[in-house]
Amino acid sequence: MREIVNIVLAGGSGTRLWPISRVLLPKQFLKLYGKLSFFQQTILRHKDFTDKTIVVVNDKQYFLALEQLEEIGMEDKVTFVIETAARNTAPAICLASMLLRGEDIAVVTPSDHLIKNTESYRKDFDSAVKFLSDNCILTFGIKPESPKTDYGYIETGEKIEDSIFKTVKFHEKPDKKTAETYLKKGNFFWNSGIFAFKVKTFLNELEKFEPEIYKACQQAFLDSKMRDNIIRFKRELMEQIPANSIDYAVMEKTDKGITKLASFDWSDVGSFDSLYQIHKKDKNNNAIYREENLINLGSKNNLIITSRKRAMVTIDINDLIVVDTKDGILISNKGSSSKVKEAVKLLKEKNSEIVESHITTFRPWGSFTVLASNKMYKVKKIYVKPHKRLSLQYHKHRSEHWVVVEGQAKVTIGNAVMLIKENESVYVPIGEKHRLENPTDKDLEIIEIQVGFPLTEDDIVRIEDDYKRD
């Protein structure tokens, strides 16, 4: 009997919402609308009308995804496809589809979109799934409300059935004049990035149009190992897969494309301008996150995101986007936030860490916060969850000094194992194997002082790791 399977694409880096979104904590895992992240909302939206869920995520974000699944009680109901190298959506969907049978229906969804009306969404999918055959790959199109230039468009042709049309062509993000032309024609829809198809149909079309991608994915799949509910691929084989999107690899070439006009509301929340649109407004039409930290005098029509601890004062500013985090500030005119991605590229050339992570970085064992740093030293506050431990590791370029602030730490240095209590410290020389562990039922907090050069997260050689990281 065939199954309906939700393939959730959760490996994106979310650079268009920098500085609140970073590679290690991207948009899909942020709680920007309600108490759940977009990723959590996506999982729960499909759980009642699909038989199985596959989450495709990169190896750096796996534990973040797992932790968020635990929050909603779904950690045992999901299969993970771990990407050890990013190769875009076509290989991601292919690798996930290879876990399924040919007659199964795959519902492919991004994990970072906002859909408020879940009942309309469910009805649209019910009708779409019933319509699917061996000869079609369905995309959900969104009726455009304005000539958006940051969305791709789908050109449609003859009507096949109520709200279902033949797909004529996929179009890249247009300029303003072209988008206005699309809007006037009436047969152009925004590309939602949500697809549904029989697995064998998609795989056959991918093999026909992009045989190199298909063959490389097949090789990586055959050489992989399934452990519990996780399938992970060798990095060297992943890197041999040509990178391409499903739009370029399949949808622009196939004659099996159909488009269903969605009745549900939809936003990809792909910019701060779209974030402004979905957020509630005050009497001056400002959208404000963490209003308790803001003094706002005479300012109108702004999106303002303040730091959790730092106060902000705005006076007589209008139509701006102001985003303040502990280590980065963004100020932009509304309507210009699509340029953030371009700014992030320039930032990456100067300081890759500020694009990669926040001051606080989450790990499967807890988190660390950078308190101070320069070329030769770095000071961190490290939090370790009860009964969790870091990997047994050593560093080639730095020594470390640990001071226990709260709790008790079990510390391994070389062949010695010791218990370090509050207000006690220990020194880890360069090149010495070591491990930090919280053996208690209470949180452990330490201050770590690193000395050396360079002080990067790459300077970790893992000997033994509970979480099977490289």
Query: Model confidence over 307-343: pLDDT tens digits?
Result: 877 889 999 999 999 999 988 899 999 999 989 989 9
Same domain, 228 and 276: no
Same domain, 55 and 87: yes
Eight-class DSSP state of 202: H
Same domain, 317 and 374: no
Pairing relationship of beta strands 329-333 and 320-324 according to DSSP bridges: antiparallel
Categorize the per-residue pLDDT at 467 as very low, low, confident or very high, splitting at 50, 70 and 90.
confident
Domain termination site, one of 198, 229, 261: 261
Same domain, 86 and 230: yes
Same domain, 297 and 322: yes
Q: CA 470, CA 463: separation in Å to the nearest integer?
A: 9
Query: Using one digit for the tens of pLDDT, what is the confidence trace for 339-361?
Result: 998 999 998 888 777 888 888 88
Does residue 65 belong to any structural domain of this protein? yes
In the chain, % of residues over pLDDT 70:
100
Q: What is the pLDDT of residue 201?
A: 96
Does residue 73 belong to any structural domain of this protein? yes
469: pLDDT strictly greater than 90:
no
Does residue 267 belong to any structural domain of this protein? no
Same domain, 378 and 328: no
Same domain, 145 and 168: yes
Q: What is the pLDDT of residue 223?
A: 93
Q: What is the pLDDT of residue 226?
A: 86
Pairing relationship of beta strands 257-261 and 164-171 according to DSSP bridges: antiparallel
Same domain, 255 and 289: no
Q: CA 121, CA 450: separation in Å to the nearest integer?
A: 51
CB atoms within 10 A of CB 272: 25
Query: Using one digit for the tens of pLDDT, what is the confidence trace for 121-180?
Result: 999 999 888 888 888 999 999 999 889 888 899 999 999 988 999 999 999 889 999 999
Contact call for residues 420 and 403 (beta carbons, < 8 A) = no
Mean pLDDT of the chain: 93
Alpha helices for 279-404 (secondary structure H): 340-350, 352-356
Contact call for residues 224 and 233 (beta carbons, < 8 A) = yes
Beta bridge partners of 108: 7, 195
Q: CA 151, CA 173: separation in Å to the nearest integer?
A: 5
Same domain, 33 and 141: yes
DSSP H or E segment with residue 31 = none
The model's pTM is 0.88
423: pLDDT strictly greater than 90:
yes
* Cα Rg, the chain, nearest whole Å: 24
Does residue 132 belong to any structural domain of this protein? yes
Domain termination site, one of 261, 288, 304: 261
Does residue 349 belong to any structural domain of this protein? no
Does residue 343 belong to any structural domain of this protein? no
Q: CA 217, CA 141: separation in Å to the nearest integer?
A: 28
Same domain, 90 and 236: yes
Q: What is the pLDDT of residue 13?
A: 80
Q: CA 67, CA 387: separation in Å to the nearest integer?
A: 16
CATH number at residue 412: 2.60.120.10
Domain that holds residue 121: 4-261
Does residue 351 belong to any structural domain of this protein? no
Q: What is the pLDDT of residue 360?
A: 87
Q: CA 66, CA 83: separation in Å to the nearest integer?
A: 15
Q: What is the pLDDT of residue 50?
A: 93
C-alpha dist (Å) from residue 194 to 165, 248, 266: 15, 15, 11
Q: CA 134, CA 199: separation in Å to the nearest integer?
A: 9
The amino acid present at 41, given as its one-letter code, is: Q
Domain termination site, one of 261, 289, 318: 261
For the chain, what is the domain count?
3
Does residue 266 belong to any structural domain of this protein? no
Same domain, 23 and 150: yes
CATH number at residue 217: 3.90.550.10
Nearest Cα to Cα of residue 217 among 87, 45, 374: 87
Same domain, 10 and 134: yes
